[in-house]
Structure 1
Amino acid sequence: MDVIDVTVSAIRLEGQQLREDPEDDSLIELAQDIAAKGLLQPLGVLGIGKGKFQLVWGSRRLAAVKRLKWETVPAHVYADKAIPIKALALVENLQRRNLTLSEEVEAVKHLGEDEGKSIEEIAAFISKSRSWVLDRVMIPSLQDDMRDALIEGAVSLKHIEAISRIEDQPTRSLALAHIITSRASSHQAKLIVAQFYSNPHVAQAIAHGEKIHSGEISVPVATKACESCFTVVPITDIIFVGVCKDGCRSKSNPDRPTEDDSPGPGSGSS
């Protein structure tokens, strides 16, 4: 398969959805990137005779170079129709950013297992970073509850990265459940994991089927200050907007300090 400079006007778009919306920010960014760095990944075209070509893949890149008013564009030229159509269709879908995480995982899996591409080749083929590809390669190997939570959107890849530091599988599951129920941010997840990771008793307790909250063994709890009363409480007691879930100190919560009890700016002993 050769790579040659093909005349842009000689490329036909039958069956392709070429979007050239002048307000498409991602297309504008792509054009700017190509103008600065050049076209790192050539288009794919099928020679159809008389100097004409059928676009196979790379519609957004073609739209970008048209925006830049290029007369020619580098392209892989296929001599026949023996083209990996599924792989090329996956590339187009990935570049349009309209796939779910599960579909992205399947796309990367197909390119690696069925097309025999390496991590670096996949990254170049779909114009993604190596780390982006590695993340999708890693997902199928996650334990079931972590993978399901990630695919369902209950946690992010950053959460999973933090939880994966825990070596013991039952403890990972416990940390995952704690992070989900407490709606922890990725930063808070790191704090939670650090507490689990530094407590050698937790994994031992789970392994022996003990109840985590019984006796001397308890689940490590990350804390956060309420944004209203400034009390430091477990993050499970903080609702999404950042204030005490059960209300700041009032008649029903005499143990919680009110804002009047909290030191204000410039306060202190004179």
Structure 2
Amino acid sequence: MTDQLKTVPIDLISPNPFQPRLHFNTQEIAELAQSISENGLIQPLIVRPSDIFGYELVAGERRLRAAKLAGLKEIDVLIKEMTDSDSMRQAIIENLQRSDLNPIEEAKSYKQLIERTQMTHEEIASSMGKSRPYISNSLRLLNLDYPLQEALEAGQISQGHARLLLSLDSNQEQMNWLHKITNDKLSVHQLEKALKEQKEKRSKKKRKNIFIEEQEKQLSQSLGLKVDLTYSKEAKGKLTINFSNQEDFHRLINKLL
């Protein structure tokens, strides 16, 4: 079957099940509906024959919604024979070309391609005109907890923020930093600097703990008793020597004297 351009009842067109866009701007749809009412539909929708009823939309979700809002009963379509994979790819490409998919919608689109068509990251990158690392980094955003994904979708944080938060060990820590970003209006650079300082402090503390543990071990071996050592940043601390009977106490006193 070759491509056909024809006018069909608008009610015969069902949405594309592979539509990656989850949110549509109602104001933009209303403005497009007004334009369609005044000027008609300039560009036909792309559809494919449905196995169930009528036609399935391939590309033109915004135009279809606006046309319905404008009260059109019939609409111009270009009918194409397409596989599920082709339909999905066409829907994603159309939306990506509009450049306003939010990062989570984009990542979910790539995930759909992988799960439904077994495409590799490299193949998707080539198909979409992106680099392989770009596709991989986009998919990593789906590892974020749902509240962080919501924040990214809403524009409260950027992809740069999100990638930095993914480097944190726990979901709770990610949430804590999310609150700091939104409350303190941290830029990506500021967040990167703060996380680097936090990592250095933890590393320094870990090294200090190893030193203290070694000192405790040496003192315990020397005294033959359990020793607890605490040490603060100000070089203050406390040494606790534990004994369980009078014999241990006298032996400790003799060693110290």
TM over 0.5: no
Instruction: Sort the TM-score into its range (normalised by shorter chain).
Output: 0.3 to 0.5
TM-score, length-scaled by structure 1: 0.42
> With CA pairs under 8 Å and 6+ residues apart, which has the higher RCO, 1 or 2?
2
Q: Which has the higher helix share?
A: 2
